[in-house]
A and B are shown apart, each in its own frame.
Chain A
């Protein structure tokens, strides 16, 4: 059996297992709490794994390993930002949200505000952030297929995107949060096992001597010692001061974005209590941290064993570094067959990774559409739970189909920046609104609306008019130049601006509700009156 056939077989096995789980989950999804929050009955450990499965996207698995393999040390900067970010979620957000919210991010924001404007803003932001992130994953899936399954041509790429999209629709429409969570748990276990296996093989090859692995990586990279030092990718000497600002800007968006990503926030609702939410974030931190330490070995291992040139030849962005390393490591130790098998495994794991993440994003955006926009804004709360769930499923279907269409149309475009943009919007709009809501007595409707729109609009506008938008060969529109904002990452401007908008919007409006603040403050810190787990 060749590698492609084996990859496809493994992938089909994963799909069969997850469809089975989805079918089981659909029979146990009766109420809105089941559909949106998995009945709040997952344990801290299960949700911790699912957090890992939801968060470790193809961008972090393939992308970071690729950046390290091509540019050396600087890829590690990404990993660290992605990990430290979880402390914001643990210390300030996870437990308090679990105690005061219900199904979506907007539940917490709308708690003591005028619900319609706040839910509209939060819904728009949730859907925008999730769709940016979703598109990046879909386009990535299309690009991967040619490399991993040996299929080429535009039709094959479009076909892959359609398959990924249809599977994610099935998981979300039928399985809801229960199905999606289990897909993420299975994926997290597979991804961790795959990454740990290759790491062991690579380290074993270098006698478990990290220094000798690094030395070979530096040699093979063609960059020498500089490969192990910061500055290969960010804030390089040619970029000068602008490069430094861009690096800090990226660092800020990474560390502050996670706790504002809607698909991450809704994970905190899937456990019965705030204590379990804390436990799940702790497990998430352990899993994600371990994973990023493994990616460090994978990245340098790919540079050492495959070589930067061979990686660049396959994929200019380095996205195939990890699969190529799997093949090389397998070959070294078990011969050609071993290489084929390992490549097949990692290719299948990469697809499982994409599927679990896109399902989480589709669920977050369709939940927000149904619960925030449809039920509370359009219908002003006059809907039955049943109607709301029907709308949630239709929304998941429509968003899925739209994501397939946009993903196919965007094939030729460079959309990798969309993940960084999603983090920037989350950090600039959602995080200020959430933190002010939970901690600032005076905060009000106008402040929440200003914070969300201010952060969202400034981040998006700055990126459009940055070198990411136009003026460079790698831009979204490479043939024109209308950029005036020098940085590729908007965070350093848009994050303070989002917080400032929230502040100004608040003090410029007289409204504020002391009674409701007492309620959210007491509820968030004590868990009194919080939503209970459903029992079947």
Chain B
């Protein structure tokens, strides 16, 4: 803690406000679990490539094997998560962020 006494700044007031708490919760409750999920999904792919050779080498259609499909699915999941996050951000985060930004900039101007 800073030892000097100070009036709370506009940022501290905003940080303590329920609206900001809501923004932070909506941001973290989406991005943190999503990060854990895509990292786990990616590491599963890497580890299976290293140890589950028979499974990964199994052919599915013609010469296309599980490893190739699994790899392509990593692309698909990346595109989907990027799309879903952007949708979530535009719908849930941006309106609150804009509102709070105007509040801060209005008060500090």
Contacts and interface: CB of A to CB of B under 8 A. Distances in A.
B68 to A, nearest CB: 7
A10 interface: no
A514 B14 contact: no
Interface residues of A, number: 61
A210 B46 contact: no
Contacts of A386: none
A191 B31 CA distance: 32
Contacts of A514: 1-2, 12
Contacts of B1: 512, 514
A528 B101 contact: yes
Indicate the member of B15, B47, B61 with the most A CB atoms within 10 Å: B15
A146 interface: no
Contact of B67 (A73, A251, A513, A521): A73
Interface residues of B, number: 58
A526 B71 contact: no
Contacts of A86: 78, 82
Interface string B20-62: 1001100100010011001100110111011101001100011
Nearest to B19: A526
Contact of B63 (A80, A84, A214): A214
B77 to A, nearest CB: 8
Contact of A84 (B15, B78, B94): B78
Q: Which of B9, B24, B39, B63 has the most CB of A within 10 A?
A: B63
A31 B43 CA distance: 44
Nearest to A530: B101
B93 to A, nearest CB: 8
Given A231-B53, A278-B89, A293-B75, A526 B97 contact: yes
A281 B83 CA distance: 11
A293 B61 CA distance: 19
Interface in A61-94: 73-74, 76-77, 80-81, 83-84, 86-88, 90-92
Given A80-B74, A248-B43, A527 B101 contact: yes
Interface in B58-109: 61-65, 67-68, 71-72, 74-75, 78-79, 81-83, 85-86, 89, 93-94, 96-98, 100-101, 103-105, 108
A527 B65 CA distance: 46
A518 interface: yes
Contacts of A285: 78-79, 82
Interface string A274-303: 110011011001100100110000000000
Give the dominant DSSP class at B's interface: helix
B63 A228 contact: yes
Nearest to B103: A528
B35 A522 contact: no
B108 A529 contact: yes
B47 A248 contact: yes
Contacts of B62: 209, 211-212, 214-215
Given A92-B35, A275-B94, A255 B2 contact: no
A253 B25 CA distance: 29
A528 B15 CA distance: 12
Contacts of B38: 84, 87
B5 to A, nearest CB: 12
A354 B94 CA distance: 37
A251 B100 contact: no
A416 interface: no
A84 B31 contact: no
Interface in A480-528: 512-515, 518-519, 521-523, 525-528
A522 B71 contact: no
Nearest to A293: B75
Contacts of A252: 43
A526 B68 contact: no
A533 interface: no
Contacts of B65: 228-229
Contacts of A292: 75
A80 B101 contact: no
The 6 closest A-B pairs by CB, nearest first: A211-B62, A528-B104, A251-B46, A229-B57, A214-B63, A230-B49
5 contacts: A74-B49, A214-B64, A229-B53, A230-B67, A292-B75
Interface of A: 73-74, 76-77, 80-81, 83-84, 86-88, 90-92, 95, 209-212, 214-215, 218, 225, 228-231, 234-235, 243-244, 247-248, 251-252, 255, 274-275, 278-279, 281-282, 285-286, 289, 292-293, 512-515, 518-519, 521-523, 525-529
